[in-house]
Structure 1
Amino acid sequence: MNNIQLYQQKRTTPEEAVTHIKPGEDIITPLIAGEPYTLMKQLETYDGLNGNRLFQMLSANEVINVAPDKLKIISMFMGTTERKAFKERKIDLLPNHFSDIPRLMIQQPTDKVIMAVVSPMDENGYFSLGTNCDHTSGILPFAKTVLLEVNENMPRTFGENQIHISDVTALIGSDAPIPQAPPARLSDKDKVIGEYVAELIKDDDVLQIGFGSIPNAIIDNLKNHQNLSIHTEMIPEKIIELFRNGSVTNANNPFHKGKMTATFAYGTQKLYDFLHENEDVYMLPVNKTNNAANLAGLKNLVTINAAVEVDFLGQANSEKVGGTYWSSTGGQSDFQLASHLSEGGRGVLCLHSTAKGDSISKIRPTLDPGTPISTSKNDIDYVVTEHGIARLRGQTIRERTSELIRIAHPNFRDELKYEAKQMGYL
């Protein structure tokens, strides 16, 4: 039977596709744009679930409504709708290093079902996970069942994110729009932070940089840099500008020389058009992109991530906002450690110095009880606010305290100094 015949044989309806899921099996989906929402919604009316679990991550859709005894929903990094559902006790959250998710899933003593959105099949019988590779590709070889949502809007990318029709259990067709990121709005604080961070980046560096207003502001200040390479977790749309003006060459990418390597992408149609059949982009599973052991021999790795707040010890919370669980660790701790191990590496955490109209300092004497530590005091390196750059790596507690107070908002510096003296840090 040829590939086209296999395709026709395995093509079915959403109602029939989900009947391949048996009680007690774990269902795993890619994140954001790779989430197969048509198949997921079908689970709401499928009566064959009993003691199943659905592992999802940074969902761009409403959380599906299934009784928890039939389907327990577990997020591995929360988006807007998951955040609300977690607060309402409708879903749970699995603490993790992003790099470790494939192993966490494989070690579960349950049969695995992969459900994913893919690009149309090519002439050799391969589908591409498109915007994704993430944890999904690392789990695929261990999956009992593979259910695909073939979407003509999903860009075809290259790398270790290919699925052959012979490995597919069932597939459905879809023409649903691929989720797109909202435009990032740059504040004056973002622009200043972007200028500071750009000072820490040198020609020939290898960059890991993410999505959002501060990364966009940083990229705006890199247009005169030369020979940059991108090895990142997520591909931000702004990177396209650095490709086109020649600042990014990927000549120093040790994984695939001359190519940008990443594990997922999220942006607007402009980014998806850029990715489609672009041989300069190579997708890798997260247990390769984010694995600190793989990155340890990499020279001049600069990792750039965001934090919610940092205390005098250099402990960073990037997961809770105002006592509400907001996201998860993601790849921050992976890359922060990797930058620490990299010869010439620099790990940068960015944050505004205040919140709520300058009424709350995000440089804190201590983190509140119950606050998760996303980056430990031993892995912290540079902290950047709109008031400057603090280098904490290699600094004592008293030196760190002084440095962090220096980049705090001026309205809070006296109060922070007082607290530091009370704690014996100054």
Structure 2
Amino acid sequence: MSTLPAPVAAAKILDHIEPGTDLIVPIANGEPRDVLDAIEAANESLEGVRVHQMHCLHDRPYLHGAYGDRMRHISYFLSHITRAPYAEGHLDYAPANFSEVPLIMAATTRDPIVIAASSPPDRRGYFSLGTSADYVSSMIGRRPFFLEATPHMPRTHGANVIHHSQILGWCESDRELVAVPRVAPKQVEETIAALVAEQIPDRATLQVGIGGIANAILAGLCDHRDLGLHTELLHDGVMDLVDAGVITGIAKEHRRNRAVATFAMGTTDLYRWLDENAAVEMLRVEYVNDPREIAGLSNFVSVNATLEVDLLGQCASESIGTRYFSGSGGQADFARGAMYSPGGKAFIVLPSTTREGASRIVSTLASGAAVTTLKNTVDHVVTEHGIARLRGKTLAQRARALIAIAAPQHRDGLSRQAHERCLLHD
């Protein structure tokens, strides 16, 4: 049996970085902060290094163009950290459905190195990627890894463990994970959540995002029985339902009795709960977000938020007009999977108005807005004023249903615009 190599300094990663090296970093808390610190410290020796990552949580000089082309970031989902640097032209954004990110990275990188945060090794020499499986777990054994082990990273089960024989090296760190506090839902979010929760049957399998509406939906499911979980993001609301015996997974056709996710983000309590928790499996995103796999789960319910919906049912979820806000993520993956699931339902949720009072149900999307979920895929749209059921409906039926769930003060204007667009004729 091979012997676990001793940890090295984070700067040892520099021995493996050549001109033009592509570095792949896991999503969110999968970022190895000391390793990236060491790379930035040596920026004068870098040449054409590109860092590929979804949803960055830590601000860094290179994100703002501090080192020019010596080190540049490619984002696959903009975060609050990368939004402004992208708008200023200091980093690049590659749009992609989350399920397809591994394929895109494979096609656009050359012999990449994965640098990732992990748990410390166990007695058999296995590290766990903890809160991440995402696009890097499928690279285990296929691409070189350099790990940064921290005792704060939970050891999770699934397809995200890596043996010491499969890594270039590893270093130690005591940096804590970024904790995301629970978001208390607003009244309008609770109203939307109640409308969705009553549409979810017992024994359904769920995908629910994060935020006030998602938290309120999960809180409203406490009296349900034997729900399943198959979601890209696992957070605190899920933990509550697993502990309460509401999420059991016994009705799932795949990964029965297990809660499935591809990454996790939440409070410190969540990270402690995940540690050695055999009820949870962290699996690669190509599996979790594959619409074909999702379609094989009966009564699949997908819930995702959007920014704006037009009267055709098109959803702009990643940009506000021409200004990019986030990314495609897995919204379309899960909406299409739910479409083909026996008994499946997909919900797009949003408050009917912005904070300034403008309608989020619009005649046409803002000029330049990116369509995240196509009109042909959208199933249900939910605001605090009700549910618009769009699947299989005519354009006129869609327009009427969406106008009916818009804020009352905007309905007349939307109706007039629908007639001007020839969506309505009476």
Alignment of 1:6-405 (within 5 A): 6=5, 8=6, 11-46=7-42, 47-65=44-62, 66-108=66-108, 110-143=110-143, 145-321=144-320, 323-358=322-357, 360-405=358-403
Residues 30 and 109 (structure 1 numbering): CA distance in 2 closer, same or farther, change over 3 Å? closer
CA distance in 2, matches of 1:155, 1:253: 26
Structure 2 residue identity aligned to 1:184 = V
Name the CA distance, whole Å, in 2 between partners of 1:327 and 1:252.
34
Instruction: Give the secondary-structure state (helix, strand or coil) at the position aligned to 1:107.
Output: helix
Displacement of 1:322: 5.5
Deviations 1:43-92 (A, max 9, x none): 22224421221001111110342523212211111110100111111111
Of all paired residues, the percent bearing the same amino acid is: 38
- Where structure 2 has 5 or more consecutive residues not aligned to the other structure, the ranges are none
Give 1:185 shift: 2.6
TM-superposed CA distance for 1:246, in Å, is 1.7
Q: CA deviation at 1:41?
A: 2.1
- Post-superposition offset of 1:205: 0.3
Aligned residues of 1:365 and 1:416 also touching (Cα < 8 A)? yes
Three-state SS of the structure 2 residue aligned to 1:124 is: coil
Q: Distance in 2 between matches of 1:279 and 1:249?
A: 12
Q: Distance in 1 between matches of 2:195 and 2:68?
A: 47
Structure 2-normalised TM-score? 0.96
Q: Which residue of 1 aligns with 2:404?
A: 406
Distance in structure 2 (CA, Å) of the matches to 1:227 and 1:108: 42
Tell me the secondary structure at the aligned position of residue 82 of structure 2: helix
CA distance in 2, matches of 1:54, 1:152: 25
Q: What is the letter of the counterpart of residue 138 of structure 1?
A: S
The residue identity in structure 2 corresponding to 1:63 is: R
User: Residue 309 of structure 1 contacts residue 364 of structure 1 at CA under 8 Å; is this kept in 2?
Assistant: yes
Q: What TM-score do you get using the length of structure 1 for normalisation?
A: 0.96
**Partner Cα distance (1:182, 1:297) in 2:** 33
Contact 2:192 2:384 in 1 (8 A): yes
The one-letter amino acid paired with 2:290 is N
Listed as ranges, the gaps of 5+ residues in structure 1 are none
Q: Which moved more, 1:237-246 or 1:407-416?
A: 237-246
Deviation at 1:297, TM superposition (A): 2.1
2:172 counterpart letter in structure 1: G
Task: Tell me how far 1:140 sits from its aligned partner.
Answer: 3.0
CA distance in 2, matches of 1:321, 1:186: 23
Contact 1:75 1:92 in 2 (8 A): yes
In structure 2, what is the Cα distance between the partners aligned to 1:301 and 1:363?
26
Q: Is the partner of 2:140 in helix, strand or coil?
A: helix
What is the RMSD of the two structures over their aligned residues, measured on CA atoms?
1.3
Q: CA deviation at 1:323?
A: 4.1
Say if 1:99 and 1:286, in contact at 8 Å, map to a contact too: yes
Name the amino acid aligned to 1:130.
G
Of 251-260 and 22-31, the range deviating more from structure 2: 251-260
